[in-house]
């Protein structure tokens, strides 16, 4: 019983030490994790498109921010993607639940044509 209480207190203290809700810049936009999240965003965007000419191809991540939320991380990425022969800038927001290994594309919009 005492061991369970100690583990619960340690877990609670750890959760409280993490600032929830603050957006933090991603220092290394070339990190494989960031690239993986960006590729996921483009893939999900493409899954929602019917016509091949509407599909995008990730060119590069321009910048990014992350936000710790209750049970995961929100990534806000600015990326460059190409459609046919045109390159545009998009903002993608991906929510990742780390423990469940799940991701959800919550927003994907054109910010500069």
Residue 91 and residue 76 in contact, taking contact as beta carbons nearer than 8 Å: yes
pLDDT digits (tens, 9 = 90+) for 83-98: 988 999 999 999 999 8
Report residue 22 as tokens.
Answer: 């603050």
Q: Return phi, psi of residue 47, to 5°.
A: -65, -25
Residue 66 and residue 74 in contact, taking contact as beta carbons nearer than 8 Å: yes
pLDDT digits (tens, 9 = 90+) for 31-88: 999 999 999 999 999 999 989 888 999 999 999 999 999 889 999 999 999 998 899 9
- Nearest one of 87, 89, 34 to 65, comparing CA atoms: 34
| Stated pTM of the model | 0.79
Residues 21 and 65: their CA atoms lie apart, in Å, by 12
């Amino acid at each position: 019983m005492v061991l369970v209480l100690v583990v619960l207190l340690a877990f609670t203290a750890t959760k409280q030490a993490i600032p929830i809700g603050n957006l933090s810049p991603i220092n290394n936009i070339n990190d494989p994790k960031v690239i993986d999240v960006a590729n996921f965003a483009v893939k999900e965007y493409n899954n929602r498109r019917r016509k091949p000419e509407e599909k995008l191809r990730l060119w590069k991540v321009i910048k990014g921010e992350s936000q710790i939320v209750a049970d995961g991380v929100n990534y806000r990425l600015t990326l460059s993607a190409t459609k046919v022969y045109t390159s545009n800038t998009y903002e993608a927001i991906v929510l990742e639940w780390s423990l469940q290994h799940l991701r959800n594309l919550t927003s994907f919009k054109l910010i500069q044509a």
